[in-house]
Structure 1
Amino acid sequence: MQPVIIEARWGLPRSQTVPNTFVPVQFPLKLVDRRMIAPTVAHCQFVRDDGQPLDFHPGQFIQIHFDYADGTPTKRSYSLATIHDHALGPGEAVEIAVSFVPGGSATALFEGLEIGDQLQASGPYGRFCLQPGDHNQRYVLIATGTGVTPYRSMLPLLAEAIATRGVQVVLLQGARNPTELLYGDDFRAFADAHPQFRYVPCFSRDVPEQPHADVRHGYVQQHLAEFAPDAAHDIAYLCGNPDMVDICLEALKAAGLPSAQIRREKYVSSTPPKV
């Protein structure tokens, strides 16, 4: 699954986005760790293997460059999942979540990757970020699948906003069942440590046997209204399944939020799961 930037208003300078004519400078990434965090999702750690740092703004993504079987060059984009609590220096790892799609070219690439192997990458790119000029009272974060990875990287910035501005945060995360809930332990621990952060996993199929009080059954878009989006107080972020993004976008607009207060990023894949 790869993210496609649809809209992220009030973002970083356009020099850090990816215009159609842009030719990226590539650099080597070395795989240093990998573990499965869901039946079809791997959490991968890489270090830049040329002695240079790979720092980023939470919410940005990198591109992995490789060739199809016929030699045609291609690339895939992956949001950075690293919990960004300091500027990363040389040798420090960045993390991504990789969805394995049957028959996918990128899936074959990552499945064949061994610890110590290299990939070619470029970036970081993107403007799906928290903004220093935000004066909202609440962030409404909504995600499905690997679309939750940008929010994991944002946790230290959210903690700072909570501490300095008294911001409230609600995260609605969609998954089909508990085994597919990505980084749930990280978000629950953050919620336990920060009462202003409310974590709401939404399971479209199976729910845990003894669910937390904030667990919901259904799709994230079905539960958005419960949290009463308010144009006077909220900035919303949408990331993940295109259908979810479109439905939530319309719901937020119907609640009165202007486009400038809705920041969105769609993820597409060859066979996107419905979550």
Structure 2
Amino acid sequence: MPVQFPLRLVGRHMLAPTVGHYQFLRDDGQPLDFQPGQFIQIHFSYADGTVTKRSYSLATIHDHALGPGEAVDIAVSFVPGGAATALFEGLDIGGQLQASGPYGRFCLNPGDRNGRYLLIATGTGVTPYRSMLPLLATAMAERGAEVVLLQGARSPSELLYSADFEAFAQQHPNFRYVPCLSRELPAEPHPDVRHGYVQQFLAEFSPDPATDIAYLCGNPDMVDACVEALKGMGLGNPQLRREKYVSST
């Protein structure tokens, strides 16, 4: 049984029409430190008393060891009629939730010596990459690594944390930000905006098993399609690191 701890809500705003950004403090005087790419689980009960939980990747831009009193961020998708949605929508500033973690191994490996990272995401699957930005900056500065982030969404309003990624790309020439929009393009798209799904544009970046490690996070169908495409280009399991986000009610 995982050890649970209280989280207190200290801030929130909408990232997209159906996605909220929530900021929490661990409310027992302990730090909630984590490795970029990890997630926490929120524990709660259905109306009939059945105990359940949901997993949320930590979106905090993580550039130091977090101490007591430092907040962490998650992105929450709202599903109409969903129990978790009702939980978060009904949570006021100062309200508490029970959590456990952090968990997961969807992290950058300090032993990696690859020349390039291909980061692929849809929906809230992009949150781990936001937390990884300081580590990616270090990899680019210390060993000349290149990074390509392909972020899939239906419209510009659903590109979560796009301002963070755009600013990071402007500051780091080795970081390329490629929004892939399936339905609606921005009024003035920059040259790296693509019209379609992320899996349609993988070949454009010539994935190479000799130089590349691919991270995939988001919709299970997208993750499966991209993994199959990348395997067809020669990448094997050592170069493929994946997380699937299942929308649950």
Q: What's the TM-score once normalised by structure 1's chain length?
A: 0.90
Which of the numbers 189, 206, 209 marks the counterpart of 1:211?
Answer: 189
Alignment deviations for residues 192-220 of structure 1 (CA, whole Å, 9 cap, x no partner)? 00000000000000000100110000000
Alignment deviations for residues 58-115 of structure 1 (CA, whole Å, 9 cap, x no partner)? 0000000000000010000000000001110001000000000001100000000000
Helix, strand or coil at the partner of 2:209: coil
1:23-62 equivalences under 5 Å are 23-62=1-40
In the TM superposition, what is the alpha-carbon distance from 1:260 to its structure 2 partner? Answer: 0.9
1:97-136 equivalences under 5 Å are 97-136=75-114
Helix, strand or coil at the partner of 1:198: strand
1:107-186 equivalences under 5 Å are 107-186=85-164
* Partner Cα distance (1:256, 1:127) in 2: 23
Aligned residue in 1 for 2:233: 255
Aligned residue in 2 for 1:226: 204
Alignment deviations for residues 139-197 of structure 1 (CA, whole Å, 9 cap, x no partner)? 00000000000000000000000000100000000000001110000000000000000
Note the residue ranges of structure 2 that are not aligned, 5 or more in a row. none
* Partner Cα distance (1:87, 1:44) in 2: 20
Residue 201 of structure 1 pairs with residue 179 of structure 2: yes
Amino acid at match of 1:35: H
Amino acid at match of 1:47: L
* Partner Cα distance (2:236, 2:45) in 1: 41
* Partner Cα distance (1:216, 1:101) in 2: 27
Q: What's the TM-score once normalised by structure 2's chain length?
A: 0.99
* Partner Cα distance (1:224, 1:239) in 2: 15
Which of the numbers 200, 218, 239 marks the counterpart of 1:240?
Answer: 218
* Partner Cα distance (2:75, 2:247) in 1: 14
In the TM superposition, what is the alpha-carbon distance from 1:57 to its structure 2 partner? Answer: 0.1
* Partner Cα distance (2:162, 2:247) in 1: 22
* Partner Cα distance (1:74, 1:249) in 2: 30
* Partner Cα distance (1:270, 1:223) in 2: 28
In the TM superposition, what is the alpha-carbon distance from 1:249 to its structure 2 partner? Answer: 0.1
Which of the numbers 54, 65, 86 marks the counterpart of 1:87?
Answer: 65
In the TM superposition, what is the alpha-carbon distance from 1:270 to its structure 2 partner? Answer: 3.7
Amino acid at match of 2:227: L
Note the residue ranges of structure 1 that are not aligned, 5 or more in a row. 1-22
* Partner Cα distance (2:222, 2:176) in 1: 20
Helix, strand or coil at the partner of 1:269: coil
Amino acid at match of 1:220: V
CA RMSD of aligned residues (A): 0.6
* Partner Cα distance (1:172, 1:265) in 2: 15
In the TM superposition, what is the alpha-carbon distance from 1:261 to its structure 2 partner? Answer: 0.7
